[in-house]
Chains A and B, each alone.
Chain A
């Protein structure tokens, strides 16, 4: 594998992790802000 391909792979992994972190932050912000009764099987969603 060429050096630029390795670099590109790393950047892509970092971007995916950043996107996941943002999704987690948004999810926890939204689920934490709401207060519905019952999540179907239980929970705050």
Chain B
């Protein structure tokens, strides 16, 4: 939820500052199809595959899931010059690193699940249990490699957007905020600048 909040907040802030949605066209996003394909692939595993235990050797699901992140990494690299995309790239790389180190899924501790109040998303808090509708798998801190990169930050209830997220997610959220701000505001600022210089030129004539 932290990512959706960052995107909605960025659009709202830009709007309040006079930004335009149509100014997003000033962002020359390359290879956008890659991110759409990667997201579609992830959605299949997140929403359509049944929750199951994810322990054991890597299967085709884990390989395709990690592969979708490599597609995203390629797309991020192609757009690294855009404002905020470097933040997204580092966040994505950190998330990918910990997922690869822990069998292809994002580890979350049973304690964090309890604090966030998301017990309905797992049949049990046994190690290796996939969390429904997410990229996560329940793992205790002792069993988690690179635990400090896992989903350790908790926004618990009664907050409306209860969630558990990682350091990588925070960087991705910052990058998303900056990218949308830049798209909606910078070009608007440029348009205003052009309009005013045009007016000055007109006045001079």
- Kindly state whether residue B47 has any CB partner on chain A within 8 Å: yes
Instruction: Tell me whether B165 is interfacial, beta carbon within 8 Å.
Output: yes
Q: Which residues from chain B contact A21 at a C-beta distance below 8 Å?
A: 32
Q: How far is the CA of A40 from the CA of B47 in the complex (A)?
A: 14
**A39-B39 contact given A26-B180, A30-B88, A34-B172, CB 8 Å threshold:** no
Return B169 CB to nearest CB of chain A, in Å. Answer: 5
Q: Which label, helix, strand, loop or mixed, suits the secondary structure of the B interface?
A: helix
- Which among B1, B25, B168, B175 is the interface contact of A18 at CB below 8 angstroms? B25
Report the minimum CB–CB distance from A10 to chain B (whole Å): 14
- How far in angstroms is the closest Cβ of chain A from B39? 4
Known: A30-B176, A32-B35, A44-B42. A38 touches B163 (CB 8 A): yes
The answer for the CA separation of A25 and B12 in the assembled complex, in Å, is 19
Question: In the assembly, what is the distance between CA of A16 and CA of B24, in Å?
Answer: 9
B162 at the interface (CB under 8 A from A): yes
Q: A-B pairs with the 7 shortest C-beta distances?
A: A42-B133, A25-B32, A28-B39, A36-B165, A33-B92, A29-B35, A37-B164
14 A-B pairs, CB-CB below 8 angstroms?
A: A22-B27, A25-B29, A25-B33, A28-B32, A30-B172, A32-B68, A33-B168, A34-B2, A36-B169, A37-B163, A38-B121, A42-B133, A44-B134, A44-B135
